[in-house]
Structure 1
Amino acid sequence: MQINSTVNQAINKQIGMEFSAYLQYLTISTHFDVEGLSELASFFKAQAEDERDHAERFINHVVAFNGKLEIPTINAPTSNVKSIEEAAKLSLDWEMKVTDAINSLLKLSAKEEDHITENFLSWFLDEQLEELSTMNKLLKVARRAGENELAVEEFMVRQRNQNSNNANSDT
């Protein structure tokens, strides 16, 4: 079975978006690492790894269905982030664009009757809901904290601990 060529082209564009997000989050992570904000650096590094994993999932889908992989040119990330709020806003805006792109890809898959890709994309919709919620929460905390960057760092520690506790209770 071969992936629909129109859907294949759209997935290739999505792969580019995922790699762009990877580079953007890696750049933000490096900024916070240089600034001595290790919790934020770790958080954005994990976000970067998630985005790379998303790109790989799309690549594997194209390969599994005998598609043609053409990764588009990836633009340079924004490197002049000046605050946590700016990084959170940039990230939230990016996740909204990715969500819109996945929704468009889902509509295209339905139109082209590519039900396997439709099913494949359902995981990404769940993932995007989580990403939007996380970035929205970070933006709210950053706005409340203002110039108090350590308050955001403390929030990140609490979030990490809460996520760790939730993961432990699932086992």
Structure 2
Amino acid sequence: MKDLVRQKLSINVDVMDMLNEQIAKEAHSSSIYLAMASWCDHNALNNSAKFFYDQAEEEREHMMKIFRFINDNGGTSYSPEVSNIPHDYNSLEEIFESALGQEINITKSIHNIVLKCRKVNDLATENFLQWFVKEQMEEEQTMRKALDLFELMGTDGIALKLIDERIPTIKG
């Protein structure tokens, strides 16, 4: 019976499996952003802390969007386990560099799912994922804008406080 149900899905089985992997990646990103927010809180970087708390919530929303899509289309979503979350950072710049790397990895993963959708003619899922393609472009751009501030202002003393004050303006 289980095989019969999987054959009657609105989405391709292999794509569904990739989407479940993406759920885990989004959950992992959310947890990483929480750890980054905590580091910022402990270092009196209040705007950056809020930024990363918001990022954590946004990644969870992405996870839930995919989770519901799978279930709404006859598939089975799996609640992910989250582990291996780094909590120690040396600087705010390092955090934003890590965040950019995280976003680039998520972008690549989304693109791979889109390419798989095209290969197996899963048009509905490809259409659903277009929102994520656009979102990832914006996420990468946001992290790059933050890193531009470090390059422009430096990382010592008052520059760090000035960067933290500008963080709310980078989201775009």
TM-score by length of 2: 0.88
Deviation at 1:75, TM superposition (A): 2.7
The letter for the 2-side match of 1:90 is: S
- How far apart are the structure 2 equivalents of 1:143 and 1:21? 25
Partner of 2:4: none
| Cα deviations by residue, 1:109-140 (Å, 9 ceiling, x for unpaired) | 11111100000000001100100000011112
Q: 4+ residue runs of structure 1 moved beyond 4 angstroms?
A: none
Q: Does residue 132 of structure 2 align to residue 133 of structure 1? A: no
Deviation at 1:72, TM superposition (A): 4.3
Where does 1:50-65 land on structure 2 (aligned, <5 Å)?
A: 50-65=58-73
Tell me the matched-pair count.
Answer: 161
TM-score by length of 1: 0.89
Greater Cα offset, 50-59 or 139-148 = 139-148
Confirm or deny: 8 A CA contact 1:28 1:87 kept in the other structure. Answer: yes
- How far apart are the structure 1 equivalents of 2:32 and 2:51? 13
Partner of 2:30: 22
Partner of 1:149: 160
| Cα deviations by residue, 1:79-120 (Å, 9 ceiling, x for unpaired) | 111111100000000100000000000001111111000000
- How far apart are the structure 2 equivalents of 1:62 and 1:72? 14
Confirm or deny: 8 A CA contact 1:85 1:139 kept in the other structure. Answer: yes
- How far apart are the structure 2 equivalents of 1:156 and 1:139? 10
Structure 2: runs of 5+ lacking an equivalent: 1-7
Structure 1: runs of 5+ lacking an equivalent: 164-171
User: The residue matched to 2:15 in structure 1 has which SS?
Assistant: helix
Greater Cα offset, 5-14 or 73-82 = 73-82
Deviation at 1:73, TM superposition (A): 3.5
Confirm or deny: 8 A CA contact 2:24 2:81 kept in the other structure. Answer: yes
The letter for the 1-side match of 2:26 is: E
- How far apart are the structure 1 equivalents of 2:19 and 2:48? 30
Deviation at 1:74, TM superposition (A): 2.5
User: The residue matched to 2:38 in structure 1 has which SS?
Assistant: helix
- How far apart are the structure 2 equivalents of 1:143 and 1:124? 29
- How far apart are the structure 1 equivalents of 2:160 and 2:34? 19
Q: Percent identity?
A: 29
| Coordinate RMSD, CA, aligned | 1.6
